[in-house]
Structure 1
Amino acid sequence: MNVLLIAGARPNFMKIAPIYRASLSYKNVVCSIVHTGQHYDKEMSGTFFEELEIPQPRYALNVGSGSHATQTAGIMVAFEEVCRREAPDLVLVVGDVNSTLACSIVAKKCGISVAHVEAGLRSFDLSMPEEINRMVTDAISDSFFVTEESGVANLLREGKQKDRIHAVGHVMVDNLLHQVKRMEGIEPSCFETYRLKEAAGPYLFLTLHRPSNVDSKEVFGGIARAINELAAQRTVFFPVHPRTRNMMSVHGTELSDRVILLPPLGYRDALFLWKDAEVVLTDSGGLQEETTALGVPCVTIRENTERPITVEIGTNVLAGTAPERILAGYRQSLEKRGRARVPQLWDGRAAERIWQVLAGEGR
């Protein structure tokens, strides 16, 4: 079986890494990694792939940034040539980025089966580009690998065949647990932020990058007021996304001296900080799940989430973007510590289950 694994941005590699590693147990499976180049990331060096224990991509499409239409079209044109050359049996896509959508469409047009990992997640907010990507990808996929119960319910409601829907757990959690175990053998002082972390006492960890949060001066200003109020009590570590840094300059956003601005961090460097935070504040999708997996309190600075299980039984509090709601969310998140649970099947073996299904289907 010839399989193409698609990744468009750094978080996608965290998801395909366990899938690639698990494929090595199957002698009749050959996986090739395709990096669309949707996001350029200088951190993705040879060391990056060594840490994930995967080879560098066989195909690098180098599409780059642009409008959604420009980027999606560029990926489709470049990936069509890969499909013609490889004639794969299966294209496996993860998540909800433009690369997920583009490669799924191309594969189906070429008569190639598509498997979607993280299928069925819904925010029910069509103003989010990711929601459109999720819905369209699921509309044409052949196999659906689901992380949580809401995904199964959404897919059934949309008319998908029950025998094509597979609750397998979460490959992002596979990677997280794998990396946590590997970090146990690394001396903490090797991390660049070690001294900052040791001197901070109880601290918070913040990520913020969504256009809906940072492009509006009013919304960003309100979030900043809440963060500054929290910073009066706790040091806040804030690795700043390039888009966010630019908008801070445009808006003249001022943050407390106790908000420690850091450059974008690699996966392990970020994990080194957030895993021991008192609370994580984020507008990321993945961190909602990863914090739940490790039992770290999380406040999501968004009006909705496509990952409801992290709120229902996990450590996540959906706070919205208003300052008073963020502060209330912080207090609520502390109360959830010790009462939250890790969702079923988030045990580090999702990738194994995916291959059990695919091998059983005779691909």
Structure 2
Amino acid sequence: MADSKIVNDPIPSKTCVVVGTRPGIIKMSPLIGELESRDVDSFTIHAGQHYSYELDGKMFDDLGLDKPKHRLSEVKNKEFHGEQTAAMLEGIEKILLEERPENVLVCGDANFNLAGALAARKLRLTLGHVEAGLRSDDWRMPEEHNRVMIDHISDYLFAPTEGTRKNAEADNVKGEVVVSGNTIVDAVQRNISIARNSSTVLEDRGLAEGEYIVFTAHREENVDDRKVLTDLIEIIERTTTELDRSVVYPIHPRTEKRLEQFGLREEIDAIEELILTDPLGYLDFLHLMAEAEVVLTDSGGIQEESCILGVPCVTLRENTERPETVSVGANVVAGTDPDQVLTRTREMRQGPHEWENPFGDGTAAEQIIDTVLDDSQ
């Protein structure tokens, strides 16, 4: 067996940020900005897990970020979790050997985060897991596998809340757990005014504030199951008729593919008050969500963003790794049964619509970079 490689003489304080999907770019954008504002030697790797200009290329423009220094271009052609993760691990490792950073930061639970974390660990670099300690306790979810593994190999676990800190410590992790708050708060606070002032998404689609519902669904346990996807289409149709609201659905490419595969395209296209759009840029989507009456979603990040924005959320899953949103009254976990979802949506429309943001005060990026750089110096 070959000896494991390490990075010889890593450059002190040099920091690598790994991104690979739209949510990861959003959550890492405050960290990238913080590193740049401090003039720290740093660079970004885009691992290429989901790449299209609409899904994440435009994100860098919207967030005012430089394009990633490195991008893996072939990963999007990999179909299965294993080959995708392996391709990203190989590509990220080569870049880290070339760049010689001291620190690597990953965020969340997607495959690219696991690949980045493994590459850093094998090269014996300091690894920080942003958004550590989240648990859905649903072992069917590949995201759950990833987040648990990343937590166990990280040097720093940046937990967004006290609850996530307890989760990590209950798992007997070896790294240092730091309650930092959630960088999504930093991102929303920095960009919501810009979004409201610059986005024309409501005018372009003839929408009035508080008189439409935003819908998103992309997780494989939902859209890869024909029965569940059929139920989701029924939820949209009944929302438009029974609740008398337009539904805006920026559709994910994965869902588009399954609609064609399952022969369901005509069913969703027949819904009169459904506004089906391509994926929106960050500022457009942030504005759209901020002015919605309710959000229906299976996205973890959107559960957080809607909570921060004061917009009620109905989660289209059987569980959530963001229980804080439920505890404060911002979110309800409804599953995907149409009757149950419609009932929960009616309840969330009625309010109350004021709650305390449980994810921190918008200084997460500052705390995370302080921690990483203090250890480097």
TM interval, short-chain normalised: over 0.9
Equivalent residues of 1:10, 1:41 under 8 A apart: no
Please say if 1:262 is aligned against 2:274: no
**CA drift at 1:49:** 2.2
Cα distance in 2 for residues equivalent to 1:322 and 1:344:
29
**CA drift at 1:91:** 0.7
Equivalent residues of 1:2, 1:30 under 8 A apart: yes
The residue aligned with 1:55 is 66
The residue aligned with 1:208 is 217
Equivalent residues of 1:317, 1:332 under 8 A apart: no
The residue aligned with 1:352 is 366
Q: Which amino acid aligns with 2:222?
A: N
The residue aligned with 1:35 is 46
From 138, 145, 155, the equivalent of 1:132 is 145
The residue aligned with 1:101 is 114
The residue aligned with 1:361 is 375
TM-score, normalised by the number of residues in structure 1: 0.93
**CA drift at 1:198:** 3.4
Q: Deviations over 1:23-55 (max 9, x none)?
A: 23435x311001111112123787642331221
The residue aligned with 1:116 is 129
Q: Deviations over 1:288-337 (max 9, x none)?
A: 00000011011000011111101111411110111111012102212443
Cα distance in 1 for residues equivalent to 2:98 and 2:203:
47
From 178, 198, 205, the equivalent of 2:207 is 198
Q: Which amino acid aligns with 1:230?
A: T
Moved more, 268-277 or 67-76: 268-277
Cα distance in 1 for residues equivalent to 2:57 and 2:304:
27
What are the residue-to-residue correspondences of 1:1-363 with 2, within 5 Å?
1-27=13-39, 29-43=40-54, 48-62=59-73, 63-64=75-76, 65-160=78-173, 164-186=176-198, 188=199, 191-198=200-207, 202-232=211-241, 233-253=244-264, 254-255=267-268, 256-343=271-358, 345=360, 347-363=361-377
**CA drift at 1:215:** 2.0
Q: Deviations over 1:233-264 (max 9, x none)?
A: 11111111122123223334323211111111
Equivalent residues of 1:314, 1:342 under 8 A apart: no
Q: Which amino acid aligns with 1:50?
A: D
Cα distance in 1 for residues equivalent to 2:117 and 2:173:
17
Q: Which amino acid aligns with 1:42?
A: Y
Alpha-carbon distance change, 144 to 246 in structure 1, aligned in 2, over 3 angstroms? same
Cα distance in 1 for residues equivalent to 2:57 and 2:253:
22
